[in-house]
Structure formats: C-alpha cells, structure tokens
Amino acid sequence: MKLKYILFFLNFLLIFSTAVAANFSGKITNATEQEVVIAGLNFKSSFAINPDGTFSKDLDLKHNGIYMFVNGSNRWEIYMTQNSILQLNFDEKNIYQTLIYLGNTADESLYLFQKSKLYDSKNFDAQKTYSLDEEEYVKVIDQLVITNLELLKKSNITDTFFRKSEEKNIIYNAQSFYHNFKYMHSYYKKSSIPKGKICESRLFNRDTIQFSFDEFLFSSVFRGYVNGRFVSSFSPKFKKNPSEAQEIIKTELSIINNPVIEDFILKSLALQQDNYNDKDHYIIKAIIALTKDEEFKNQLHTKLENIGKFVAGSPAPNFQLNDQNGNTVSLSDFKGKNIYIDFWATWCKPCVAEIPDLKKLEEKFKNKNIVFLSISLDSQKDIEKWKNFIIKKDLKGTQLIVENAWQSEVVSQYLIESIPRFILIDTNGNLVDINAPRPSMSKVNKAINRLDNL
C-alpha cells in the first residue's frame, strides 16, 4: 500500500511538472507551407508540420499576451498564457468556414481571429477609406471601434484581464488611424491637404495614457505608446548632438528602469534607423554598446558591415533569378544598361499602388538606355498568383521572383527591410542610388535623367 501511494504521488508530481509549458497544436488540412511560426515580444518558435497536417509544440513563454500565428501567408493573432493548451484546426482551402479553436485560451483566440476580419482588405479597403474626406473618414473609424467593442462584448471570454486590456487595446489602436489620416489621404489622393482638425479632436495626449507592465506585455499597441514616448523625448536631443547618441539613450532608459522595456526600446530603435543616413549610424553603434543581448549585438555588427559595402559607387551585387516563364535572368545580363530595380510583392498595397506610375515611367523612357526590373518577394506557394497578376495588370519590364521571400540572398545583399524599394544602377554595374525615388515621386524623372549614357 505504501508503494502504491508513493507511485501515485510521483505520478501527481510528474503531471504538474510537465504542465508548466504552454502547448500549441492542431491540424492544417491542404497545407501549402510546411512550417508554423509563433512570434511575440522577445519570442519566436518555428516548427514543422507533419505529412498528415498535424503539429504540436511546447512553448516556453515568458509572459501572457497576444502572439502572432504564421503559416505562409496565413497569419493572425492568438492569445497564449504560460499554461495555455491551445489547439487550432482549419482547412486552408476554406479557412473562415472550417477554423476551430480548442483549449483554455480558445475563446480569446477565436475572438482575435474574428477581429482580424474587421480589419482585412475585404472590410477595410485602405485606398477607398483613406481617400474619403476627413469627416466621412472619422465616421468609418468610429464605427469600426464600435463594431469591434461589440464583438468583444458578445464573445464568450471570461478572462477579466483579457477583456479589460483588449477594450483599451481597441480604443488606443484607433488612435493610429486618426493620426495617419493626413499622411495616407495625401498619399492616395496624390495631393496635400490642410492640417486636419476633426481627426485631431479624436487624438489623446500620449503622455497622459497610463497602463500597467502586464498590459505592455499584452499587446503591441501598448508597446507602441511606450516606444513613441521614448522617441519623442530622444529625437530632439539626438538631432542637436548626434555624436552623443549613447549618453542620450542611456539617460532616457534610466527613467524607464525596467530591463524588459529597455530591451524592447533598443530593438525597436534599431529597426527605425535609416541604413543610408550616416547620422543614424551613431544610434546603431550606441545600441551595440548598450544592449545586453549578444545575438542582437552581433546582428547589428553584421548590419553595419553590410551597410559599409552597399554604398553609391560600389558594384551592385550580382544575382540570378527566374522570370515568370522559368528562365534564369542575371543582373550581369544587363551590363551596359542603366537599371531601375523595383522590389515589391502582390500582397503589398503600397507596391501595387506604384504600378500605374511605374508603367508611365517605362513608357516615358522606353527608347532610352535603361531597363526596368521588378523583383517580387512573393512566396513560392503564391507563384501562380504572381504570374496571373502579371497578366491581369499587363506588367511590362522584366519580371523576376526570389526563391525564399525575405530569406532570399538578394534581399540580404540589397539590405531590403521594407517594400516597395527602388534602386538605380549605372551602365558599369555600379550602384547610383540605393534608395531611389518611387515612380509616383516627381523627382524620379530627374534621378533617371542624371544617369550617364542614357
């Protein structure tokens, strides 16, 4: 009897010791990508999908919060806690009708998926919405907030912290829509507008917004406010004394006095720097000196080395990519020609918005010594979509596609961190402008006309 109780007690301990880690599992029917990624603040885990579509992974999460589920072009938010047991099943051919969540954070994750539909391109057409006049635009955003709050209210979520945090999350997220209106309206309408008043009346004073450390961990929206406050205080001081970047950052971080938030700010600050601005290199070097994350430090060292090689006047890195017909095309094939490169993707709305102006540019310089290369960062599973897009939009120039999307060698060589991105190369194969004007910019004509042997 005594042995029986000992075994029972050991089994009891085993159950609870193995239940510490969160577990994410599920099945994707008709999966086209064989990898799942879960990403969040200071966290990223990648794992393979089995041949039958199933997957399972124990996750050593450091905090509760909203994480991103990624499977190829399928990506949406999920809610995970340190003891989450969450299962996700869906058929990729019919996601909305087949998606099912099971587990102790299923209700929160289902809500987040339903929320994502409110903000997707079918319900929120960016070009159409940002082209509205200011008063109509505000009505659309206000209604979006109301609809989102109603969705949260009707959900089955019982987690009080999630409900309260998400309610603030919705309201604060709307601030970015009000703030962005004057910039996005000008972009889509291609004309500047007077300084808006209606949207501004909806804006909060960022410095008065209060939230807890748990809320900081909960959502990228809260983290954005933390970063915004830091930047608004740091930037004016840095502009006056760029060489003092390290001391300025160190002083600003001492006010925060939280290692997790400090680490987040340093990494966010590094991402915001212009690779091609010498002053911003002071910031990157300061972050290298201040960060305690050795892996991150090494990444920044490598970045500075690559920036040093990728400058105007240096040879453009050669590459070999396939066109829509499967033919291999090399950059060296165009030796003796000026080259205007467009890095883009079919899913990138700002990229697609540049196409009409790119066509006009190609037509204007069709008899000149210049070729137009469009390099797509679409994934291989979307290659047919890319080919059909070329036909549907009657795209001209030379159309190429990378093999591994953002992990492609050419993306690394050309320091592509966001798209659309345009680059000018001269007839000798040397870089002329590593951040060339977009086709929609008036100065693009001047930039091309300055090329030798045009």
Q: Exposure of 246 by Cβ count < 10 A (0-12 exposed, 13-18 middle, 19+ buried)? A: middle
* Other beta carbons less than 10 A from residue 299's beta carbon: 15
pTM: 0.75
Please report, rounded to a whole number, the percentage of residues in the chain having pLDDT higher than 70.
93
Percent of the chain past pLDDT 90, that is, above it, reads 62
DSSP 438: P
pLDDT value at position 278? Answer: 65
pLDDT in tens, 412-452: 888 888 899 999 999 999 999 988 999 999 899 999 999 98
Mean pLDDT value across the chain: 88
Q: Give the pLDDT mean for 165-176.
A: 94
Confidence class for position 10, pLDDT limits 50, 70, 90:
very low
Q: Tell the burial category of 441 from Cβ atoms under 10 Å away from its Cβ (0-12, 13-18, 19+).
A: middle
pLDDT digits 0-9 by tens, 375-390: 999 988 788 999 999 9
pLDDT of 4 reads 41
For 112-125, write each residue's pLDDT tens digit. 999 999 988 778 88
User: How many Cβ atoms sit within 10 Å of the Cβ of residue 162?
Assistant: 24
pLDDT at 308 over 90: no
Residue 346 near residue 376, CB atoms below 8 Å: yes
Residues 105-134 have a mean pLDDT of 91
